[in-house]
Amino acid sequence: MPKKSKGGASSNKSDWKKKRRQDYLEKKEFQYYIFCEGEQTEPKYFEGFKRLIEDNPIYKDMVLIEIEPCAVETKRVIGKAEEYVRKNNLERGQIWCVYDKDSFPKSDFNGVIEIANSLNKQNKDIQYHAAWSNECIEIWFILHFVNYVSNNHRTEYIKFLNEKFKEIGVGKYQKNLPDIFNILLEYGRAKLAIRYAKRIIKENENKSSAMIAPGTKVFELVEELAKYLPEEVKKEFL
Protein backbone atom coordinates (compact mmCIF):
# COMPACT_ATOMS: atom_id res chain seq x y z
CA MET A 1 0.00 0.00 0.00
CA PRO A 2 1.52 3.38 -0.95
CA LYS A 3 2.33 5.74 1.87
CA LYS A 4 0.26 8.86 2.28
CA SER A 5 2.05 11.97 1.13
CA LYS A 6 3.18 14.44 3.76
CA GLY A 7 1.25 17.11 1.92
CA GLY A 8 -2.00 15.19 2.33
CA ALA A 9 -1.45 14.71 6.05
CA SER A 10 -0.62 18.37 6.45
CA SER A 11 -3.75 19.36 4.52
CA ASN A 12 -5.96 17.15 6.70
CA LYS A 13 -4.48 18.64 9.85
CA SER A 14 -5.03 22.14 8.52
CA ASP A 15 -8.65 21.36 7.65
CA TRP A 16 -9.21 19.89 11.10
CA LYS A 17 -7.80 22.99 12.79
CA LYS A 18 -9.94 25.21 10.59
CA LYS A 19 -13.08 23.25 11.51
CA ARG A 20 -12.25 23.41 15.21
CA ARG A 21 -11.81 27.16 14.95
CA GLN A 22 -15.10 27.48 13.05
CA ASP A 23 -16.89 25.49 15.76
CA TYR A 24 -15.30 27.72 18.39
CA LEU A 25 -16.51 30.86 16.61
CA GLU A 26 -20.04 29.57 16.27
CA LYS A 27 -20.32 29.07 20.04
CA LYS A 28 -19.73 32.77 20.66
CA GLU A 29 -23.02 34.64 20.82
CA PHE A 30 -21.56 38.09 20.19
CA GLN A 31 -18.87 38.39 17.53
CA TYR A 32 -16.79 41.47 16.72
CA TYR A 33 -14.17 41.62 13.99
CA ILE A 34 -12.13 44.81 14.10
CA PHE A 35 -10.08 45.79 11.05
CA CYS A 36 -7.62 48.58 11.76
CA GLU A 37 -5.97 50.76 9.15
CA GLY A 38 -2.89 51.06 11.37
CA GLU A 39 -0.71 48.19 12.46
CA GLN A 40 -0.08 49.30 16.04
CA THR A 41 -1.89 52.30 17.55
CA GLU A 42 -5.49 51.22 16.97
CA PRO A 43 -4.89 47.47 17.55
CA LYS A 44 -3.08 48.17 20.83
CA TYR A 45 -5.94 50.38 21.99
CA PHE A 46 -8.65 47.80 21.25
CA GLU A 47 -6.52 45.00 22.69
CA GLY A 48 -7.20 46.68 26.03
CA PHE A 49 -10.92 45.97 25.64
CA LYS A 50 -10.26 42.44 24.43
CA ARG A 51 -8.08 41.56 27.45
CA LEU A 52 -10.58 42.84 29.99
CA ILE A 53 -13.56 41.19 28.29
CA GLU A 54 -11.77 37.85 28.02
CA ASP A 55 -10.97 38.09 31.73
CA ASN A 56 -14.57 38.88 32.60
CA PRO A 57 -16.18 35.61 33.79
CA ILE A 58 -19.63 36.87 32.82
CA TYR A 59 -18.91 37.38 29.13
CA LYS A 60 -15.65 35.63 28.27
CA ASP A 61 -17.47 32.59 26.85
CA MET A 62 -20.06 34.69 25.03
CA VAL A 63 -18.03 37.39 23.28
CA LEU A 64 -15.52 36.96 20.51
CA ILE A 65 -13.23 39.85 19.59
CA GLU A 66 -10.75 39.50 16.76
CA ILE A 67 -8.47 42.40 15.84
CA GLU A 68 -6.83 42.52 12.42
CA PRO A 69 -4.14 45.14 11.63
CA CYS A 70 -4.46 45.84 7.91
CA ALA A 71 -1.63 48.28 7.07
CA VAL A 72 -3.73 49.74 4.25
CA GLU A 73 -5.61 52.99 3.80
CA THR A 74 -9.31 53.95 3.92
CA LYS A 75 -11.30 52.00 1.28
CA ARG A 76 -8.85 49.10 1.25
CA VAL A 77 -9.63 48.45 4.92
CA ILE A 78 -13.17 47.41 4.12
CA GLY A 79 -11.81 45.39 1.21
CA LYS A 80 -9.63 43.47 3.66
CA ALA A 81 -12.66 42.95 5.88
CA GLU A 82 -14.73 41.56 2.98
CA GLU A 83 -11.89 39.22 2.06
CA TYR A 84 -11.64 37.97 5.66
CA VAL A 85 -15.39 37.31 5.83
CA ARG A 86 -15.29 35.28 2.61
CA LYS A 87 -12.12 33.39 3.44
CA ASN A 88 -13.38 32.35 6.86
CA ASN A 89 -16.96 31.69 5.76
CA LEU A 90 -18.35 33.95 8.47
CA GLU A 91 -22.10 33.62 8.83
CA ARG A 92 -22.70 36.35 11.39
CA GLY A 93 -20.95 39.09 13.31
CA GLN A 94 -20.23 42.79 13.46
CA ILE A 95 -17.45 43.95 11.14
CA TRP A 96 -15.82 47.19 12.27
CA CYS A 97 -13.47 49.19 10.04
CA VAL A 98 -11.26 51.60 11.98
CA TYR A 99 -9.56 54.13 9.72
CA ASP A 100 -8.36 57.74 9.44
CA LYS A 101 -8.92 60.51 6.94
CA ASP A 102 -5.29 61.75 6.98
CA SER A 103 -4.56 63.22 3.54
CA PHE A 104 -6.56 60.72 1.51
CA PRO A 105 -9.22 61.93 -0.98
CA LYS A 106 -12.67 62.76 0.38
CA SER A 107 -14.24 60.31 -2.05
CA ASP A 108 -12.18 57.43 -0.62
CA PHE A 109 -12.97 58.42 2.95
CA ASN A 110 -16.71 58.77 2.36
CA GLY A 111 -16.66 55.70 0.14
CA VAL A 112 -16.14 53.30 3.04
CA ILE A 113 -19.54 54.20 4.49
CA GLU A 114 -21.17 53.82 1.09
CA ILE A 115 -19.65 50.35 0.64
CA ALA A 116 -20.66 49.35 4.17
CA ASN A 117 -24.27 50.43 3.56
CA SER A 118 -24.37 48.41 0.36
CA LEU A 119 -22.93 45.29 2.00
CA ASN A 120 -25.34 45.54 4.92
CA LYS A 121 -28.28 45.14 2.53
CA GLN A 122 -26.92 41.79 1.35
CA ASN A 123 -26.79 39.96 4.68
CA LYS A 124 -28.49 41.13 7.85
CA ASP A 125 -26.35 38.77 9.94
CA ILE A 126 -23.05 40.30 8.77
CA GLN A 127 -23.10 44.02 9.41
CA TYR A 128 -20.29 46.44 8.54
CA HIS A 129 -19.57 49.59 10.55
CA ALA A 130 -17.28 52.56 9.88
CA ALA A 131 -15.39 53.78 12.97
CA TRP A 132 -13.66 56.67 11.21
CA SER A 133 -11.58 59.53 12.56
CA ASN A 134 -10.94 62.83 10.84
CA GLU A 135 -8.23 63.33 10.58
CA CYS A 136 -6.72 60.64 12.82
CA ILE A 137 -7.38 58.37 15.81
CA GLU A 138 -5.57 60.83 18.07
CA ILE A 139 -8.63 63.08 18.09
CA TRP A 140 -10.44 60.29 19.98
CA PHE A 141 -7.61 60.15 22.50
CA ILE A 142 -7.63 63.94 22.95
CA LEU A 143 -11.36 63.96 23.70
CA HIS A 144 -10.58 62.01 26.88
CA PHE A 145 -9.08 65.23 28.23
CA VAL A 146 -10.79 68.17 26.53
CA ASN A 147 -13.56 69.11 24.11
CA TYR A 148 -11.21 69.72 21.19
CA VAL A 149 -12.99 71.28 18.20
CA SER A 150 -10.19 73.05 16.31
CA ASN A 151 -9.65 71.81 12.77
CA ASN A 152 -5.88 71.47 13.01
CA HIS A 153 -3.35 69.27 11.27
CA ARG A 154 -2.66 65.90 12.92
CA THR A 155 0.77 67.17 14.00
CA GLU A 156 -1.09 69.49 16.38
CA TYR A 157 -2.94 66.52 17.84
CA ILE A 158 0.35 64.78 18.53
CA LYS A 159 1.72 67.96 20.08
CA PHE A 160 -1.31 68.24 22.36
CA LEU A 161 -0.99 64.63 23.50
CA ASN A 162 2.73 65.03 24.11
CA GLU A 163 2.10 67.99 26.40
CA LYS A 164 -0.80 66.27 28.18
CA PHE A 165 1.15 63.03 28.72
CA LYS A 166 4.08 64.97 30.17
CA GLU A 167 1.66 66.84 32.42
CA ILE A 168 0.19 63.63 33.85
CA GLY A 169 3.63 62.03 34.14
CA VAL A 170 3.45 59.18 31.65
CA GLY A 171 6.19 60.31 29.29
CA LYS A 172 5.86 61.11 25.61
CA TYR A 173 2.95 60.11 23.40
CA GLN A 174 3.92 57.66 20.67
CA LYS A 175 1.76 56.01 18.05
CA ASN A 176 2.72 52.51 19.16
CA LEU A 177 2.28 52.85 22.92
CA PRO A 178 1.49 49.36 24.26
CA ASP A 179 -0.43 50.73 27.25
CA ILE A 180 -2.44 53.47 25.51
CA PHE A 181 -5.73 51.91 26.66
CA ASN A 182 -4.65 51.86 30.32
CA ILE A 183 -3.29 55.41 30.19
CA LEU A 184 -6.56 56.77 28.82
CA LEU A 185 -8.57 54.71 31.29
CA GLU A 186 -6.57 55.90 34.29
CA TYR A 187 -5.91 59.54 33.42
CA GLY A 188 -8.61 60.40 30.90
CA ARG A 189 -12.39 60.37 31.09
CA ALA A 190 -13.97 57.99 28.60
CA LYS A 191 -17.51 59.13 29.39
CA LEU A 192 -16.59 62.68 28.47
CA ALA A 193 -14.84 61.51 25.30
CA ILE A 194 -18.01 59.74 24.22
CA ARG A 195 -20.13 62.79 25.07
CA TYR A 196 -17.83 65.19 23.22
CA ALA A 197 -17.59 62.93 20.16
CA LYS A 198 -21.38 62.56 19.99
CA ARG A 199 -21.82 66.33 20.30
CA ILE A 200 -19.48 66.95 17.37
CA ILE A 201 -21.40 64.48 15.19
CA LYS A 202 -24.76 65.97 16.17
CA GLU A 203 -23.60 69.50 15.41
CA ASN A 204 -22.47 68.35 11.96
CA GLU A 205 -25.24 65.85 11.21
CA ASN A 206 -25.87 67.12 7.68
CA LYS A 207 -22.23 66.87 6.64
CA SER A 208 -20.32 63.92 5.19
CA SER A 209 -17.64 62.28 7.33
CA ALA A 210 -14.90 63.93 5.26
CA MET A 211 -16.33 67.35 6.11
CA ILE A 212 -16.47 66.78 9.88
CA ALA A 213 -13.07 67.92 11.07
CA PRO A 214 -12.19 67.18 13.72
CA GLY A 215 -14.56 64.30 14.33
CA THR A 216 -14.69 60.59 15.03
CA LYS A 217 -17.10 57.70 15.27
CA VAL A 218 -14.74 55.46 17.22
CA PHE A 219 -17.07 56.05 20.16
CA GLU A 220 -19.67 53.78 18.54
CA LEU A 221 -17.34 50.79 18.68
CA VAL A 222 -16.19 51.75 22.17
CA GLU A 223 -19.79 51.81 23.41
CA GLU A 224 -20.40 48.37 21.90
CA LEU A 225 -17.36 46.78 23.53
CA ALA A 226 -17.82 48.57 26.86
CA LYS A 227 -21.06 46.64 27.44
CA TYR A 228 -19.00 43.52 28.17
CA LEU A 229 -16.37 45.04 30.45
CA PRO A 230 -16.19 44.19 34.15
CA GLU A 231 -18.61 46.39 36.08
CA GLU A 232 -15.90 48.47 37.79
CA VAL A 233 -14.46 49.39 34.38
CA LYS A 234 -17.75 49.63 32.49
CA LYS A 235 -18.87 52.50 34.71
CA GLU A 236 -15.98 54.58 33.34
CA PHE A 237 -17.52 54.35 29.86
CA LEU A 238 -21.29 53.98 30.16
Integer-rounded Cα radius of gyration of the chain: 20
In angstroms, the CA 146 to CA 113 distance is 28
Q: Please report, for the chain, the start and end positions of each structural domain, with discontinuous segments joined by +.
A: 23-234
- Count CA within 13 A, CB hemisphere, residue 103: 3
| Cis before 138 (ω within 30) | no
Query: How many C-beta neighbours within 10 Å does residue 184 have?
Result: 21
Q: Tell me which architecture the domain covering 23-234 has in CATH.
A: 3-Layer(aba) Sandwich (3.40)
The pTM of the full predicted model, rounded to 2 decimals, is 0.89
Question: Vertex 62, ends 89 and 197: CA angle to 5°?
Answer: 90
Which whole-number Å values give the CA distances from 150 to 17, 39, 188, in the listed order?
50, 27, 19
**What's the order of all strands across the beta sheet hosting 126-134?**
63-69, 30-36, 93-100, 126-134, 215-216
Per residue of the chain (238 residues), give pLDDT as tens.
444 444 555 555 555 555 555 555 567 799 999 999 999 999 999 999 999 999 999 998 999 999 999 988 888 999 999 999 999 999 999 999 999 998 888 999 999 999 999 999 999 999 999 999 999 999 999 999 999 999 998 999 999 999 999 999 999 999 889 999 999 999 999 999 999 999 999 999 999 999 999 999 999 999 999 999 999 999 999 9
Q: What DSSP designation does 3 have?
A: P
User: What pLDDT, on the 0 to 100 scale, is given for residue 3?
Assistant: 44
